Structure 1
């Protein structure tokens, strides 16, 4: 074997090794990313699964980036329960509002919402023209807002405040 041939073989071997190294670096970085950010995955049915990352775990990486993975089962359960509460609450609110949406140009129209008071209790309040960022949306009537606090208040405190 001459030097030129040996050099070519070494070049091919180096290319192959660089390819393997790049593959292993990608695998290492993906596993490191997933392990650093989460251990459990909340699927669309509400079931919680432990992450078992593999080299082909691109969908798991996407789940991490979508904030749909959690460090503990308890954290995943809390998020699942938050989503369920939010769904139920929105159904209740929409039913009570009967298609009403806030008219931000109407200063005479009150828009009622739930807020967490400094006494660590849920209260209702209203705005007329200023848009607040409210988790549970607005009610047309104060009575419906008060009813929502009675119906969902304990769950709101447990899942969003405590």
Structure 2
């Protein structure tokens, strides 16, 4: 009988403690709900960079048409100006625009040749096999290879050494002219 009274007393004390804790939690929640709206949470700053436009209203600049021809334009800061600029299609000089148009044309033709040579093959840098690329070394454009590191090569990778050599034969002079020895930047 004594144990039963002790158990009832312990249960009553536990219920009393639980009730006090509930009251404290409700009180704390009420206080917190009053102060939360006044707390300003700083916005997280994104680690970004925004490209700044160097052109002002009335500045002359040059753009490349879809057919590759270059035209002069006057900066007005309108949507079409901003679209051309955000796509890297606004240049300070006619020479720079013409150089870029030729580069884009060469890169397009080169990619088509490379992709035709490679077929379905894509470089896999988790596999230790040669991936061939073109570089300039000691004054000459040559074929080199890499196994496991993607160096983000401008002209991409070839599956076969012979195809990379053929690319130099077909496009080497243009690569020299447009990417190595060019003056307009």
**More displaced 10-residue stretch of structure 1: 60-69 or 40-49:** 60-69
Q: 2:71 & 2:154 partners in 1: Cα distance?
A: 27
* Equivalent residue for 2:108, pick from 87, 102, 109: 87
Preserved CA contact (<8 Å) 1:34 1:60 = no
- 2:48 aligns to what? none
**Per-residue deviation, residues 81-126 of structure 1 (Å, max 9, x unmatched):** 101100100010011111111122211x110000111x22111110
- Distance (whole Å) between structure 2 residues aligned to residue 128 and residue 40 of structure 1: 41
Distance 1:34 1:150, change over 3 A: farther
Counterpart CA distance in 1 for 2:148 and 2:157 is 12
Q: CA deviation at 1:32?
A: 1.5
Aligned to 2:127: 106
RMSD of Structure 2 on Structure 1 (CA)? 2.1
**Which residue in the other structure is 2:80 paired with?**
59
Q: Contact 2:61 / 2:75 at 8 angstroms: preserved in 1?
A: no
Moved over 6 A (4+): none
Q: Cα distance, 1:43 vs. partner?
A: 2.1
Q: How does 1:67-82 map to 2 (within 5 A)?
A: 67-82=88-103
- Count matched residues: 129
- Asked which structure has the greater CA Rg, the reply is 2
Mapping of residues 96-135 of structure 1, within 5 Å: 96-107=117-128, 109-117=129-137, 119-135=138-154
* Conservation of the 8 A alpha-carbon contact between 2:141 and 2:168: yes
Contact 1:70 1:76 (8 Å CA) reproduced:
yes
Greater percentage in helix: 1
**Change in CA separation of 1:69 and 1:30 when aligned onto 2, cut-off 3 Å:** closer
Question: 1:63, 1:152 → 2: CA distance?
Answer: 28
Structure number with the bigger relative contact order (C-alpha 8 A, sep ≥ 6) is 1
Structure 2 length as normaliser, TM-score? Answer: 0.64
- Aligned mates of 1:30, 1:146 — CA distance in 2: 41
Q: CA deviation at 1:47?
A: 2.1
Q: Where does structure 2 lack aligned partners over 5 or more consecutive residues? A: 1-52
